[in-house]
Amino acid sequence: MSTIVLLLITGLGLGALYFLVASGLSLIYGLMGVLNFAHGSFLTLGAFAGWELARRMGGESWGTLIASLLLGMVVGALVAAATEFLLIRRLYNRHIEQVLVTVGLALATVALFDGIWGTDPIYVTAPPWLSHTTEILGARVPNDRFLLIGAAVLVLLGIVAFLRYTRFGLVIRAGVENRSMVTALGIDVRKAFTVVFAIGGAAAGLGGVLASHYFGYVSPQLGGSLLIFAFIVTVIGGLGSLAGAAIASVAVAILQQFANYFLGGTGDLMVVLLLAVVLLVRPTGILGKKA
Amino acid sequence: MTESTTAVVTESILTVSDLSASIDGQQVIESVSFEMLPVGVTALLGRNGVGKTSTLRAILGLIERSGEVTVAGERVDREPTHRIVQRGVGYVPEDREVFASLTVAENLRLAERDSSPNRALVAELFPDLTDRAGQLAGTLSGGQQQMVSLARALVNNNQVLLVDEPTKGLAPLIVMDVARALERAAETVPVLLVEQNLQVVRMLAKKAIVLEGGRVVYDGSAEELLGNEALTKELLGVA
């Protein structure tokens, strides 16, 4: 029983991390049709920014952790908005060029991060409570999982509130459904594009700082390794669906944890098989709209 | 091109000159030119597939196009779609294109551009929408969705409305409701109307422009066109 509880909660924690990356990817694809392969770089940069701040402030206080999370969000948002404004804006509806530019940007930024921070993992410090465990139904659950889950829930609620109660949110929801009709109502949908990139970048930047605490280190490859699973989650959840991304994040992470424990470390394989099954049975994903 | 013998009001609110457009490299209209009356309804007619919808979409820049488009004397064809619309060009698309996942109220709120939107006019013309403000637009009937689509255009103070087949697929009773709403709207804003239902055209339009093969083949009085059975049959395939 305790093993099941442990796997479920750690799966939720990992799912929270996937969701922080996948939420931005899904919104960006849903509104703009852009598959952003550079999204992992926003995460990595957020993680390095958080670590830089933490080491300057002294890394073990809650104040430092909160400041580094906020800085990761701000850096992720700014870099993502700049990427949209300077690179992607010229390439809407040119999907091959988008892929080439975002893949190129991802490769170039990893090389840049290698140059600045080196190729070796840099270990991070955090408030001691995060490295302790809490007993739930006999399972000793690492406390950092609760931070991840809490952050992902706050991000989900924040994005939902933004989409539901703001004018930009209304434009984004309508734009995901029918972009050209939004334009035909006299709305400059490009502003919404920049906002969506910024939101996605903020979530990724936050995810980057949290990922550095989850894994215990930050490295230039951090974003790339999470991006693969975030893409899988986005496709399984349904491109453009935030709720789908949330459900798929949890499902994929829990499946991965259980398969790793009970089926001899086959978690990644099971996730790919799940992706294949979803694509065969429901190509639009769990909550994706029909083409 | 067939010309009407009756003089029509000449001061144009919307002028289209030498407008050509293509979709995925396929030319859909070619050198279309016409002027639209500054009052009432101008009907844009033609058989299926002659380029009526493409003409409206080309005016708005929703498809690749060349040529000149002026609104109230100002050239707009180099501007992006949202700027053209902001100049006061309202658009009611074919097949309504309401946002299915938004409520009726959200559809209307999204469309509001002006600081003082015509909510009273919309409520007067479409009281049913007020009752259904919280309902998802995707769950409305075709007629109700058409009301939402028209209301989105009428909620702003436009200089001209482009309305594409508003009665398509609607029950006869609803067709007359839509026609009356358009008649009322045309009292304050000129309307360029694409319509297959000639009864509605007879009721509303002063001027008619007929397209064939992507070109204008008639530009003149709607009454003269529809009063001439042979000409109507020749140009529209129906009498």
Task: Round to whole Å and give the CA distance between A253 and A255.
Answer: 5
pLDDT at A107: 96
Whether chain B has a CB inside 8 Å of the CB on A185: the answer is: yes
Residues of B in contact with A189 (CB under 8 A): 82
Q: pTM for this one?
A: 0.83
Using CA coordinates, name the residue in chain B closest to A177.
Answer: B99
Indicate the helix (H) or strand (E) that contains A11: helix A2-32
**Count of residues for chain B?**
239
Return mean pLDDT, chain B: 91
Ranges of H-type helices in B60-141? 81-86, 104-111, 119-125, 127-131
pLDDT at B138: 95
pLDDT at A140: 93
Residues of B in contact with A184 (CB under 8 A): 60, 62, 81, 85, 91, 93
Contact B111 A182 (CB under 8 A): no
Residues of A in contact with B86 (CB under 8 A): 186
Residue in the structure block whose two tokens are 């490859």? A221
B86 CA: distance to closest CA in chain A (Å): 5
Using CA coordinates, name the residue in chain A closest to B162.
Answer: A184
Q: Give the residues of chain B that fall short of pLDDT 70.
A: 1-10, 239
Contact B80 A181 (CB under 8 A): no
Each residue's pLDDT tens digit in chain A (291 positions)? Answer: 789 999 999 999 999 999 999 999 998 888 788 889 999 999 999 999 999 999 999 878 999 999 999 999 999 999 999 999 999 988 877 889 999 999 999 999 999 999 999 999 999 998 999 989 999 998 999 999 999 999 999 999 999 999 999 999 999 999 888 989 999 999 998 888 899 999 999 999 999 999 999 999 999 999 999 999 999 999 999 988 899 999 999 999 999 999 999 999 999 999 999 999 999 999 999 988 765
Whether chain B has a CB inside 8 Å of the CB on A265: the answer is: no
Residue in the structure block whose two tokens are 């931005």? A24
Contacts of B119-123 with CB under 8 Å at 24 or more apart are B119/B155, B121/B154, B121/B155, B122/B151, B122/B154, B122/B155
Q: What value of ipTM does the predicted structure carry?
A: 0.89
Contact B99 A187 (CB under 8 A): no
| Tokens standing for residue B71 | 């609104």
Residues 187-206 in A contacting B (C-alpha not used; CB under 8 Å): 187-189
pLDDT at B5: 42
Contact B91 A184 (CB under 8 A): yes
Nearest CB to B62 within list A173, A177, A180: A180
